[in-house]
Amino acid sequence: MKQGLSLRVSQHLALTPQLQQSIRLLQLSTLELSQEVEQMLDENPFLERTAEEAPREEFGLEVADAPVRDEDRQAEGETDFAPGPAAAPAEVAVAATGDAEAAAPADSEPDWEGDGTVDLAPDDSEWGGDAPARANNLGDDERADATELARSQESLQSFLHRQALSLRLDENDCAALRFLIESLNDDGYLEDSLPALASGLAGADNDQFDELVHHFQVALGLLQSLEPAGVGARSLAECLTIQLRQLASARESEGEAQVRKAAIAICKQPMELLARRDFKRLATLTRSNEDEVRAALQLIAKLEPKPGRRFVDVERNIVVPDVIVTRIGHGTNAKFRVMLNPEVMPRLRVHDIYAGALKQHKGEGSQALSQRLQEARWFIKNIQQRFDTILRVSNAIVERQKSYFVHGELAMRPLVLREIADELGLHESTISRVTTAKYMATPYGTVELKYFFGSALGTETGGNASSTAVRALIKQFVSAEDVKKPLSDSQVSEMLKEQGIECARRTVAKYREALRIAPANLRKAL
């Protein structure tokens, strides 16, 4: 092989560890960021949490960092949105525990000689959850935290164990009942069969296997007699049947008993027929008339298909907003203030005692400790930059979607990531990371930042309508329809055309499915 030399020009993009960490923190959700902070606090001895708020005047921060009063806004002639998209975040304060220094711009290289503290907690507790803004007349002692309420909720297993205490069972049956209770899923169903559960405990011992199956059968009957009705079922049909049988009472009339028996017979048929509401087919299979079938379907519709629904741990379903938008004024003079949620902002600082000791004693191992100190400062700086970027993007969104905050989702404008990226001088991928898994509390509820972005649909006047507004209009049409004659997708498409919006039937079907609205034949009232 002949050897030779060649000259080639190429470009490479190298990401520093600090930039990589900044990008990763930006795309984390609130829960993931909290976990990341806890992990960093455990691993880095130079990082600590503080609940103290640094004085604003001492470190050269402007008065704008403090909450602005209504009198000051009127005197200064405040604009519709405060602070502006290009302004520094009003709710982020940086303080130094050693040498006092002002906060550096987000795009400048930080000075690692001073120990930095990020204080991300303004004194504003008007918003405590994901509900719309409203006056709260409760005192501080009477306010209940949503997370604490969620944690105090009793689980399905605890509720069933408490009921089982009133049953007089021998040791084996009691153990079998406890095992079945712990084997239930979140919906209250027993997913594994009794032989499968017994084989997992008995192994190859056939005698023990048969004994376990017997105890499980006895325990299953007891479990299905407990509240909530339908718990311990192994299928939807069995769950509905259990609830129907528990509806029997001495006060039940002959007609009600006949309807209930017809409903039990319907549950024994394929569930597809029940979902399609095939009255004629169900009447033939159950040997009933159509009137009885209709009444039976009405009875089945009142049952609970997931008995454990109300016991599901609601704490994991709580959405804590990252950004809070509050209304100032009413009517045409309404203004909106955008601020970060103080509940999601970690208060972190570099441990000044450890940092000072490291500066005074340079010896063996000091290089590794200096690297950990620098990592702590990087982490604090990147967290500040994360909230800074979220606030800037949120300000830009509120400014572009002001009609939504005044009139609701029907007034949503078309918006794409590129528009916000061009306005703020950021890349589209950065805007995508900021708007993913980040939530904003608005006067109309808590929504994801992605919610404000939607494609455009053409109108007869040559303008554009947001897909979000079109979905809201479809939801409005369906909610106002005649339940006996529900609107088809074609009819909804024609109604949109009457509003001047060009929307094909297939697009209507796609939006309807996204809104989890059933087709017209399934929405028809019984």
Distance CA 129, CA 319 (A): 8
Nearest to 296 by CA among 241, 215, 349: 241
CB neighbours of residue 460 within 10 Å: 10
Chain centre to alpha carbon of residue 31: 10
- Which position has the higher pLDDT, 518 or 59? 518
Domain with CATH 1.10.10.60 in the chain: 455-523
pLDDT at 113: 37
Distance CA 427, CA 449 (A): 17
Confidence of residue 392 (pLDDT cuts 50, 70, 90): very high
pLDDT single digits (tens) 117-172: 334 333 333 333 333 333 334 344 444 454 554 555 678 888 999 998 888 888 88
Please give the DSSP secondary-structure letter assigned to residue 410. Answer: G
Q: Which two tokens stand for residue 128?
A: 């405590």
Which helix (H) or strand (E) element contains residue 456? strand 456-458
Q: Which two tokens stand for residue 278?
A: 């095939």
Distance CA 497, CA 501 (A): 5
Distance CA 101, CA 111 (A): 9
Nearest to 311 by CA among 145, 196, 132, 162: 162
* Mean pLDDT, rounded, of the chain: 77
Which helix (H) or strand (E) element contains residue 183? none
pLDDT at 85: 38
pLDDT single digits (tens) 199-253: 888 766 677 888 888 889 999 999 999 998 999 999 999 999 999 998 887 787 8
Q: Structure pTM?
A: 0.62
Distance CA 232, CA 220 (A): 7
Please give the DSSP secondary-structure letter assigned to residue 336. Answer: E
Of all residues in the chain, the percent with pLDDT exceeding 90 is: 26
Domain 455-523, second-level architecture: Orthogonal Bundle (1.10)
Does residue 341 have a pLDDT over 80?
A: yes
Distance CA 269, CA 275 (A): 11
pLDDT at 509: 92
Residue with tokens 């023990």: 208
Which residues in 18-51 are b (16+ Cβ under 10 Å) and which e? beebbeebbbbbbeebeebbeebbeebebbbebe
SS percent in the chain: helix, strand, coil, step 5: 50, 10, 40
